[in-house]
Amino acid sequence: MSYIEPGEVREHLKNVVALDGGKVEPGPEGWIKPYVWRHPSEIPRREWLYGDHYLRGFLTATFAPGAVGKSALAIGEALAMATGRPLLGVQPNGRYRVGYFNGEDPLEETERRVGAAMLYFGVRPDEVEGFFFWGSGREAGLVVAEQTPDGTVINRPVVERVKADVARYGLDALVIDPFVSSHRVTENDNNAIDVVAKEWGRVAGEMRIGVEVVHHTTKAAIGREVRVEDGRGGGALLFAARSARVLNTMSEEEAATVGLMKARRYYFRVDNGKANLTPPPDRSAWFKFEGVDLGNGDNVGVVTSWDWPEDSAPRHAPAKLKFAGQKIVAAFDRLVEEGKLVEGQLAPGLSPGMPAVADADLRKMAYRIGLVTEAKPEDGSALTKWQAAARQAWKRGTEEVQTSKLLRFEAGVWWDIRRGGGETTRRSAD
């Protein structure tokens, strides 16, 4: 085994970096340089384009299952930025030039969606002229990276074309929908996805625009609440994005709380799953689909803003058991459907006349009510304390239900949890 003397190392380094009087001259790559202080008040502010998601100079991402509303939402937000109007309840920080590229649908389908949104919101053609730009993968591909036997290769001519068009039209934001249409690499290869994501981030930084990519979630997430971590393929995209959000269709529990069981699939919420530049929002942003008649026989869904009713329990309720009764009704419906409630039996410590519930279901109940979060009690206590807290929530909620005589409408009849005996009875619809 051979060794290199320290003196030899220093002589070698002199050929890479010139040392002169304590000053370091950066090498040809310029990968590192001396820090130079400037007062923080002189550092330019972050340039948020829209809400706390679209950000100039950075890559952002939206994750959602199919048919939830991610494309319609992206189009609505693009039109809001192009007009400078709060079409979806969020006031853009200016009027911006926005490019929307759909890599899957023909341009005509995007035209239907854009036209429907403009009709619904009363956007005039002159309001978007010169501010909204679009493209389709059916007409011109936008593959910025490919996987070869030698590794992931960036398609430089395509990237340069993107940058040239961004400069040509003076774009402030660019939406790529979906992300998978912009590359030909294996999604489960984190190293390959990392290369693609960082290339889009580099475009955002060099061109001083916000680049938003829309990404599908994995099929494994079907049947449960989706998180940003459920993005299809490797997690490199999530890690590369400065802000990431997720879309979820209104759940059965949420729908029961606000009386929208039959129409719940027309509603969805957006949660900021990763915002490492701003604190996560305290509450979800809710949206609703509205059908718009195009006048040609087509009816197209348009995403609109929707406010959660103030007199209903918020989605992320604090551990104060506020509106626990309404939450109990929603969860009660679900557990009845699952056959996990046994009538005529009492669980220890529960209100008289209410059905017995297994501890596992009580834990779920406590989570739904908001007493506990992320599979842990909020105080970090042991599982036995969690069960006790769940029972307390169940007892408090059932007392509220019985006191207020809350009703629910299901299968064409009214159901009533009556005060006193607590039994479930059926009423006629009238």
> At residue 398, does pLDDT exceed 60?
no
Q: Which residue has the tokens 């009214």?
A: 414
372 touches 386 (CB < 8 A): yes
Report which of residues 223 and 9 the model is more confident about. 223
Q: Which residue has the tokens 């009704």?
A: 329
What confidence tens digit (pLDDT) does each residue in 152-209 have?
999 999 999 999 999 999 999 999 999 999 999 999 899 999 999 999 999 999 999 9
pLDDT reading at 403 higher than 80: no
**Residue of 68, 81, 73, 89 whose CA lies nearest to 306:** 89
Q: Which of 74, 63, 53, 373 is nearest to 235 (CA)?
A: 63
Residue-level pLDDT at 274? 62
Give the pLDDT mean for 353-357. Answer: 43
**Which of 245, 248, 330 has the alpha carbon at shortest distance from 286?**
248
pTM of structure: 0.68
| Structure tokens that stand for 324 in this block | 């626990």
Tell me how far apart the alpha carbons of residues 275 and 180 are, in angstroms, rounded to a whole number: 22
Per-residue CA distances from 317 to 207, 273, 366 (Å): 42, 17, 11
3-class DSSP state of 10 = helix
**Exposed / middle / buried, residue 217 (Cβ in 10 Å: 0-12, 13-18, 19+):** buried
Fold of 49-306: Rossmann fold (3.40.50)
pLDDT of residue 325: 46
DSSP 355: P
Report residue 69 as tokens: 């509303």
CA–CA separation, 110 and 113 (whole Å): 5
Q: How far apart are the first and last CA of the chain?
A: 93
Q: How does the average pLDDT of the chain come out, rounded?
A: 76
Question: What per-residue confidence (pLDDT) applies to 365?
Answer: 56
CA distance 252 to 311: 18
Which pLDDT does position 345 carry in this prediction?
34
- Domain limits, the chain: 6-38, 49-306, 324-427
More confident residue, 60 or 320: 60
Q: What percent of the chain stands above pLDDT 70? A: 62
Residue 115, pLDDT above cutoff 70: yes
Confidence of residue 256 (pLDDT cuts 50, 70, 90): confident
Mean pLDDT of 256-273: 87
What single letter denotes the amino acid at residue 268?
F
